[in-house]
Amino acid sequence: MRVIYNQELKDVADDVEHLTQAVSQAMHGAGKALIDGDMDTARAVANGDKAIDEIAKRVIDQCVRFLAQQSPVATDLRVIVATQRLSTTLERMGDLAQHIALTVLRTSPSSPLPDDEATRAVFQRMREFLDITADRLPGMLADRDTGTAEEVIRDDNQLDEMHDRTFDVVLSDSWNGTKQQLIDVVLLARFMERLGDHAVSVARQVVYIVSGFDPSKEPQGLDD
Amino acid sequence: MRVIYNQELKDVADDVEHLTQAVSQAMHGAGKALIDGDMDTARAVANGDKAIDEIAKRVIDQCVRFLAQQSPVATDLRVIVATQRLSTTLERMGDLAQHIALTVLRTSPSSPLPDDEATRAVFQRMREFLDITADRLPGMLADRDTGTAEEVIRDDNQLDEMHDRTFDVVLSDSWNGTKQQLIDVVLLARFMERLGDHAVSVARQVVYIVSGFDPSKEPQGLDD
């Protein structure tokens, strides 16, 4: 029975690794689609979200079954509780990456972003930040690496500042994008900022698994 | 021990009722702040979110403790699993109501919405829809009312249509709000649309509690 218990925990961990890799790939792809104008990648991210949803659902269902059949306690219970939460969050991150990709596809062959230096610069910085974040996620989860988790949590304020800067850029008198471009810039920046917030949420679950302690509330900012 | 078990389940249910009422009140207040320009209500909603966060955290902690100490199965397990999920969602709904209130406070004494008939009309409709939704939540949860849950799930497409209409309104040539107003309209409409999506998520948890079945994936639309 202990063999089955351990095997089931391992299966959950394998699926979480799979899910995290898929979301990480989607985040990279969203940036490539938006900043590099890569339409093949945009399509791949848009189409790949269904698979992310399916893995997340599978993980969550496995966790509930495990609770019903194994009645875990202590660390194993924290792992199962945290895994349900972070899987839900990872699934939403996949959705956000898909939103970015769909926006790129909708406006193609034009970029959703106006041909404006300041706008492109801030989105390039956000893209780089999310590439770093995407690279941190798999190891953070697989290794329960609270050091990396704390970096993710701490660094998120940088993304919030970039997000705030986006508003300064578009509100400046010299910004002359169309109304549609203004809408797309605001929403794309929000999607990227939310990706960072959700990464923090996942990092907090890693800290919770290891320490049993839930760091301070969700990050500041308009989260939904 | 059964007495303690039942008392703890009852305590969780009482706190969920408390949480749902608080979120319902916040939703109503957000609409009052935005559409009626009621600043006292705006402040109350902005300040009231901390209490919502605290109740949600308490509920979630109680659920984890219950899992550790009582090892519930069957319906009770579904209740505990669903309660964790829907409490997280309710807490986010409180945040969204707060975002709306903070936007109203930021632009006051002006409304965030331009003095434009079509804009005000669509936001009035979204406000009315969210008032109906807010009124449905407490009974839906307290009574595990799957009939109401199915109405909430089914009706959400109406809110999505109103949200889409907002874009049509602002993109029309006759719309002459400022850039800041365009930004605020897009974000406020998004916050309201997300409130509806989250209400659907809560409704799905009610269906799951009663039937053990998780209705089809999250509603269509750009959710984060």
Read off the pLDDT of residues B144-195 as tens digits, 9 standing for 90 and up. Answer: 999 999 999 999 999 999 999 999 999 999 999 999 999 999 999 999 999 9
Region for B127 from its dihedrals, namely left if φ exceeds 0, alpha if ψ lies in -120 to 50, beta otherwise = alpha
- Please give the Cα distance from A204 to A198 (Å, whole number): 10
Q: Which of B74, B183, B191 sits opposite A186 (nearest CB)?
A: B183
What mean pLDDT is predicted for residues B217-222?
Answer: 50
- B197 → chain A, closest CA residue: A224
Q: What pLDDT was estimated at residue A222? A: 59
Q: Nearest C-alpha of chain B: how many angstroms from A8?
A: 18
* Chain A interface disruption, residue of B218, B222, B223, most A CBs within 10 A: B222
Model confidence pLDDT, tens digit, residues B110-137: 999 999 999 999 999 999 999 999 999 9
What mean pLDDT is predicted for residues B10-25?
Answer: 97
Quote the mean pLDDT of chain A. Answer: 94
- Please give the Cα distance from A30 to A128 (Å, whole number): 11
Tell me the chain B residues in contact with residue A56 when contact means C-beta distances shorter than 8 Å. Answer: none
Q: What pLDDT was estimated at residue B53? A: 97
Band of residue B213 on the pLDDT scale cut at 50, 70, 90: confident
**Lowest model confidence (mean pLDDT) among A12-16, A18-22, A171-175, A215-219:** A215-219
Model confidence pLDDT, tens digit, residues A127-171: 999 999 999 999 999 999 999 999 999 999 999 999 999 999 999
Which amino acid, one-letter code, is at B141?
L
CATH code: domain A2-211 is 1.20.58.220
Mark yes or no for CB contact A170/B191 under 8 Å.
no
In this model, does residue B27 exceed pLDDT 90? yes
- Please give the Cα distance from B102 to B83 (Å, whole number): 28
- Please give the Cα distance from A29 to B134 (Å, whole number): 38
Quote the mean pLDDT of chain B. Answer: 94
Mark yes or no for CB contact A186/B186 under 8 Å.
yes
Pure H helices in chain B: 2-36, 39-70, 74-107, 117-142, 146-171, 179-211
Tell me the chain B residues in contact with residue A175 when contact means C-beta distances shorter than 8 Å. Answer: 179
Task: Give percent of chain A above pLDDT 70.
Answer: 96
Cα dihedral A16/A199/B57/A211 (nearest 10): 70
> Residue B178 corresponds to which tokens in the numbers above?
């400022």
Tell me the chain B residues in contact with residue A59 when contact means C-beta distances shorter than 8 Å. Answer: none
What mean pLDDT is predicted for residues A106-121?
Answer: 98
* Chain B interface disruption, residue of A27, A45, A224, most B CBs within 10 A: A224
